[in-house]
Copies of this chain bind each other. A is one copy, B any other.
Amino acid sequence: MIKAGIVGATGYAGGELVRILYAHKEVEIKWLYSKSYEGQTYSDIYRNMSSMADVKLVSGDLGELSKEVDVIFTATPQGYLASVLNEEILKNSKVIDLSADFRIKDVKTYEKWYGIEHKSPQFIGEAVYGLCEKNREDIRYARLIANPGCYPTCSFLSIYPAAAEHIIDVNTIIIDAKSGTSGAGRGAKVNNLYCEVNENIKAYGLPNHRHTPEIEEQISYASGESVLLNFSPHLVPMNRGILVTAYASLNQKSDGSYYSEDEIREIYEKYYNKEKFVRVLKKGVCPETRWVEGSNFTDVNILVDDRTHRLIMMGALDNIVKGAAGQAVQNMNIMFGFKEEEGLEMPPVFP
């Protein structure tokens, strides 16, 4: 039984961490940290956790608090962890960061896309990008995990085998992504009001959304090529879920022919058949967010368009589970040698 602390427990990802960890057999939540709600009872804010997480929210020095726990989750705005992290904290406890602070290896790229100075670049090197299905071995021994973004997780898992096996021209990748509204966070903004989001769909952040360099970097690692791509997120009137529809031109084989859909599906199945949390759907079946809601699954599939010789790569996940809190717990399970799926076996909730 290890002890965990959660910073930013009153955001949607933080709330999901509480929900998942509460039912986790190997973890006890030691403290929940929130500056804005300090002193209030957690379950008065997230009333789903009434009779379960009836604890007071704390605030204070993270160095001190780190002594009480084995692992800290930071579900915080960009820049927070980089501004407080130090060697002492990392000696006291492992840290799993759900923000973007340690995801991008090149500090200049981070600073350019996020528009803030990175306050502790000295930790970027050791931080492991916590895409479990890709970096499982490194995660095992990490002190600091950069938990992947929701869009990058979904995009990467959808594209990974095709990029790694050079099935596609990675510089033709176009990712058209759609997300539920919980991804926008719990801040009180007019743009996120019910009447502004409901009965609407819109693109946002085009063509320079901050998740772009994170996706490019990971696809580059996978393919061994430098990658520039288009990433276009859209806001969908629903609570949870990300759907990725990605397009790329098929590479021709040496004999000039193209990969068939069956060949590519076989490769996807080979990549993921040991992965508990990635389900390659049956031929012709498109992923839908409703089938993964509330769970840690990512459903993926591909289609080949024989007319245009393009590959369509599709993925669906729950943005606050596999796209945030669930993957964070999966990382924790790997780091502490627990069963990787512990606390994450809840089936998707439908309808």
CB proximity of A40 to chain B, nearest CB, Å: 12
| Of A48-56, A70-78, A91-99, the one touching chain B | A48-56
Complexed CA–CA distance, A50 and B348 (Å):
10
* Residues B193 and A312 in contact, CB atoms below 8 Å apart: no
Residue A281 at the B interface, CB < 8 A? yes
- Whether A238 lies near B350 (C-beta < 8 A) is no
Query: Of A117-125, A144-152, A158-166, A199-207, which stretch is located at the interface?
Result: A199-207
Q: Which residues of B contact A247 (CB under 8 A)?
A: 174, 176, 230, 232, 247
Q: Give the contacts of A257-291 with B (CB-CB under 8 A).
A: 276, 279, 281-282, 285-291
Q: Which of A177-205 contact B (CB under 8 A)?
A: 178, 180-182, 184, 186, 188-190, 192-204
Q: A23-B345, A194-B192, A240-B351 are in contact. Are A201 and B178 (CB under 8 A)?
A: yes
A134 at the interface (CB under 8 A from B): no
**Contact present for A228 and B308 (CB under 8 Å):** yes
**CA of A3 to CA of B47, assembled, Å:** 35
Could you tell me if B232 and A48 are in contact, using CB atoms closer than 8 angstroms?
Answer: no
User: Which of A27-35, A102-110, A299-307, A330-338 touches B?
Assistant: A299-307
Q: Is A239 an interface residue (CB 8 A)?
A: yes
CB-CB under 8 A from A237, the residues of chain B are: 194, 198, 236-238
**Whole-angstrom distance between the alpha carbons of A19 and B290 in the complex?**
14
Bound: A119/B258 CA distance, A:
38
Q: Is A241 an interface residue (CB 8 A)?
A: yes
Is there an interface contact between B203 and A286, defined as CB atoms closer than 8 Å? yes
Q: Is the CB of B349 within 8 A of A202?
A: no
A84 is an interface residue with CB less than 8 A from chain B: no
Residue of B188, B207, B243, B312 touching A201 (CB-CB under 8 A): B243
Q: Is the CB of B194 within 8 A of A291?
A: no
Which residue of B48, B178, B189, B282 contacts A348 across the interface (Cβ within 8 Å)? Answer: B48
Measured in the bound complex, the distance between the Cα atoms of B241 and A309 in whole Å is 30
Residues of chain B within 8 A (CB-CB) of A196 are 194, 290, 351
For A198, what are the chain B residues with a Cβ–Cβ distance below 8 Å?
A: 181, 194, 198, 237-239, 351
Nearest-CB residue, chain B, relative to A307: B228
Among B188, B312, B350, point to the contact of A232 (Cβ < 8 A). Answer: B312
Q: Are B286 and A204 in contact (CB under 8 A)?
A: yes
Q: Which residues of B contact A348 (CB under 8 A)?
A: 48-49
Distance of A49 Cα from B347 Cα, bound (Å): 7
On whether the beta carbons of B189 and A188 are closer than 8 Å, the reply is yes
Out of B236, B293, B310, B351, name the residue touching A12 (CB < 8 Å). B351
Q: Is A346 an interface residue (CB 8 A)?
A: yes
Given A193-B188, A234-B178, A346-B346, does the pair A290, B199 have CB atoms closer than 8 Å? yes
Across the interface, do B195 and A186 meet the contact criterion of CB distance under 8 Å? yes
Alpha-carbon separation in the docked complex, A13 to B285 (Å): 25
5 residue pairs bridging A and B, Cβ less than 8 Å apart: A12-B351, A194-B239, A200-B241, A206-B312, A232-B245
For the complex of A and B, 7 pairs with smallest distance between CB atoms:
A48-B348, A195-B351, A200-B290, A202-B288, A207-B305, A176-B176, A194-B197
